[in-house]
Amino acid sequence: MSARRPPKLALPEATPSPAVRATAASVARTRPTIADVAAEAGVSKATVSRFFNHRERLLSPDIATRVEAAIAKLAYSPSPMAQALSHGRSRLIGLVVADITNPFSVAVLRGAEKVCQEAGYLVMLFNLGNERERERDAIAALASYQVDGFILNTQGQSEALGKNPTDTDILQGRPAVLVDRRHAALNADFVSLDNQSAMRAACDHLVEQGWRELLYITQPLEDVSSRQERASAFSRCIKVHAQAVRGQLLELGKAMKGAADGAPDGTLDAAIRALRERAGANGRGAIVAGNSVVTLRVAAAMARLGWRFGRELGFVGFDDPDWAPLIGPGLTMVSQPTDAIGQSAAQCLLERLGGLHGPARERLLPGRLVVRGSSAAATTRPATRSQKQLTPPEPPECAAPGGR
């Protein structure tokens, strides 16, 4: 509204405006256009356009250099907006994230963004803030900007999409890659941790170290495929080791939107206590946490109880945040190749954008078990440490350190 270029007068044969602007462009308030370059080089717009797009088709070296010079002089670069309008591709990639607060999502985002940037794409970000109803809006908003493709890390399984018949079109026929969470109604490539194998590695390790009573703690399964897959993988592991270990699953309540969800804390504490009791006095109960959010809550619970990982209870968690080595004796973690996941997703998408057709692909990347103190052999020291603390000192009331 302020520094907008004054509309050109519609004088039929006045001095051609582009040229005018080009020469007067010494103090140009606006980016040079292809017309400016054309005028500067004394050629037509089409020629300049060809210089960029159809370089293979010979344009006489003479003219080519003239155009090149003009481009350099004016520091011209094509407007992606106009290109999108005309040519149909925006060189934009829409990225929808369920919760930007989740370090996993950020790590993936990072990997994906890197690849996209290197390929000349820009990322448009939409954060759902854990409000899954907004998924439709997010995709629609992105689509309205003509994004060339989508990378989706969202909850929405069947619910949000698929009801409305027009939903099939929601992607506007543009390719999409799903990350970490499958999407029933969408046929798209899928990239994720190999949850099955990862869980297997975690459980095998615990069993091997002598932990015998396992508890898997997860956020609400809801429609989130990765949570479901890990949970069922856990069950399967328990079955495999049936003669040696027992297992149980705890699904945390939904976190109240932003609230400190106080009640669940109580149930979490109780569940942990119960685990220890089930395991008996030999200290062979261990927790498996479904992701870093759960890990955080479990660690807080342990602090409240005055317990220490690797002593009262064993522990393995999914994700490997920076701080995992610093909690207690260090937390044993299944490290996800987040960067690779993000990069892989972006590459998948780029391949599709490059014209690759065919059925939806699935790319499962292996996790890596990072062993630290929290899962150290349970059998070697129950008599020493655990027994000693069998009845742990009552935690100093609620004067817990975390004054949140």
Partner DNA sequence: TTGTACGCGTTATCAG
Partner DNA sequence: CTGATAACGCGTACAA
List of residues contacting its own copies (CB under 8 A) = 1-4, 29-31, 75, 77, 79-82, 84-85, 88, 90, 92, 95, 100-101, 103, 106-107, 109-110, 113-114, 117, 122-127, 129, 140-146, 166, 172-173, 296, 299-300, 303, 321-327, 329-330, 355, 370-373, 400-404
- Residue 240 touches which of its own copies, DNA, none (CB < 5 to 8 A by kind)? none
The residue among 85 and 360 lying less far from DNA, judged by its C-beta, is 85
Judge contact between 217 and 290, C-beta under 8 A. Answer: yes
- For position 43 contacting DNA by CB under 7 A, the verdict is yes
Binding residue for DNA (CB under 7 A) from 17, 65, 158, 380?
17
CA angle, residues 211, 283, 241, in degrees to nearest 5: 20
Enumerate residues 6+ apart whose C-beta is below 8 A from 131: none
Distance CA(301)–CA(392), nearest Å, equals: 14
The residue among 5 and 257 lying less far from DNA, judged by its C-beta, is 5
- Residue 44 touches which of its own copies, DNA, none (CB < 5 to 8 A by kind)? DNA
Judge contact between 143 and 171, C-beta under 8 A. Answer: yes
Using CB under 7 A, which of the segments 9-17, 116-124, 169-177, 346-354 binds DNA?
A: 9-17
- Residue 46 touches which of DNA, its own copies, none (CB < 5 to 8 A by kind)? DNA
- For position 78 contacting DNA by CB under 7 A, the verdict is yes
Using CB under 7 A, which of the segments 39-47, 106-114, 184-192, 228-236 binds DNA?
A: 39-47
By C-alpha distance, which of 241, 237, 264 is closest to 253? 264
- For position 92 contacting DNA by CB under 7 A, the verdict is no
Structure tokens at 348: 């998948």
- For position 60 contacting DNA by CB under 7 A, the verdict is yes
Enumerate residues 6+ apart whose C-beta is below 8 A from 142: 94, 96, 124, 126, 150
Write phi, then psi, for 322 (nearest 5 degrees): -50, -40
The residue among 4 and 257 lying less far from its own copies, judged by its C-beta, is 4
Q: What's the farthest any 2 CA atoms get from each other in the chain?
A: 99
Judge contact between 385 and 340, C-beta under 8 A. Answer: no
Distance CA(110)–CA(201), nearest Å, equals: 26
Interface contacts to DNA, rule CB under 7 A: 5, 7-10, 17, 30-31, 33-35, 42-50, 52-54, 57-60, 62-64, 76-79, 81-83, 85-87
